[in-house]
Amino acid sequence: MYEILEKKILCPQIKEIVLDTPAIAQKAQAGQFIVIRIDEKGERIPLTVADYDREKGTMTVIFQEAGKTTQQLGALNKGDFIMDVAGPMGIPSSVEKVGTVVCVGGGVGSAALYILLKAFKKAGNKTVAIIGAKTKEFLFWEEKIKSVGSEMFITTDDGSCGRKGFVTEELESFIKKEKCDLIFAVGPVVMMNAVCRVSEPYKIKTIVSLNSIMVDATGMCGACRVEVGGETKFACVDGPDFDGHKVNFQLLLQRQKMYLTEEKTILDMGKTNEERECRCNNE
């Protein structure tokens, strides 16, 4: 059993919890995730490691209430317990000194940026953050992300905070005026696809974190399979990080439309799946 030590409501339907997981906290690294099961009748769901504290033995995760299990998780409070937490899982992000690293986060995907930026900054890189949301109300962790970034840019659909528009517009503006050596994108699949379309003409290496549907998270079920460079990969054991310019996003989007959970995740910014795809195609 794993105790919830802290709980915060960050914005509508997005919550943060700190878990007492000393063994996992000792080994967790940027880019990895955990799989939780709330009780013996619950389903397994993956959650990105947003932060960890090795001394305290704690791990922080941020999630959006999009389906039955995340809603159930969101109803728990400080002092409650989660039955199973497995991790850290997945291959850690490759972190080395490359120059200027731009990390782009969309919606709840921004939860992964802090730990990534912190790791790249520690490695001696210039770190730049670009975070996007529907409105100011849906932004979170701005100060934490800013603390590990040399620069930070914010975009909102309605212009209520930062630049009015999309993260891809801010990214292209940055690329045109400054040297960029590596891009990391974390968020809805349509957003990551759009980021890759922006960076490809500039030949900038772009890594995407594919938080696909996962069941067992050990490579056995095949639910998270993706096509990368013409080969089938499993996001849980081969990723979750992949070269975005090699990912078959069209196939990935077609597969994920079969899952209601992914559809609800895409709706986190207040748009329908079709509207989001159309909008990204026009960026």
Cβ atoms 165, 188 nearer than 8 A: no
Candidate from 74-88, 206-220, 229-243 with smallest mean pLDDT: 206-220
Residue 3 CA to residue 198 CA, distance in Å, equals 42
Domain ranges of the chain: 2-89, 100-281
Residue 255 CA to residue 129 CA, distance in Å, equals 30
Closest CA to 48 of 183, 236, 178: 236
Q: Write down the CATH number for the domain with range 100-281.
A: 3.40.50.80
Across the chain, mean pLDDT equals 89
Residue 161 CA to residue 156 CA, distance in Å, equals 6
How does pLDDT run across 230-270, given as a tens digit for each residue? 999 999 999 999 999 999 999 998 887 776 444 444 444 44
Closest CA to 279 of 213, 207, 206, 194: 194
Residue 114 CA to residue 140 CA, distance in Å, equals 11
Residue 210 CA to residue 192 CA, distance in Å, equals 9
Cβ atoms 145, 169 nearer than 8 A: no
Mean pLDDT, residues 41-70 taken together: 93
Mean pLDDT, residues 164-174 taken together: 95
Mention every residue, 6+ apart, whose C-beta is less than 8 A from residue 205.
Answer: 181, 182, 183, 243, 245
DSSP element (H, E) containing 172: helix 167-177
DSSP 32-96: -EEEEESSTTPPPEEEEEEEEETTTTEEEEEEE--SHHHHHHHT--TT-EESEEEEEESPPP---
Three-class SS state of 130: strand
Taking the model in full, what pTM does it have? 0.87
Residue 217 has pLDDT above 90, yes or no: no
Paired residues of 271 in beta bridges: none
Q: In which order are the strands placed within the sheet that holds 126-133?
A: 163-164, 151-156, 126-133, 100-106, 182-186, 206-209, 241-243
Residue 62 has pLDDT above 90, yes or no: yes
Residue 40 burial (CB count, 10 A)? 7
From 3.40.50.150, 2.40.160.40, 2.40.30.10, 1.10.10.60, which CATH number describes the 2-89 domain?
2.40.30.10
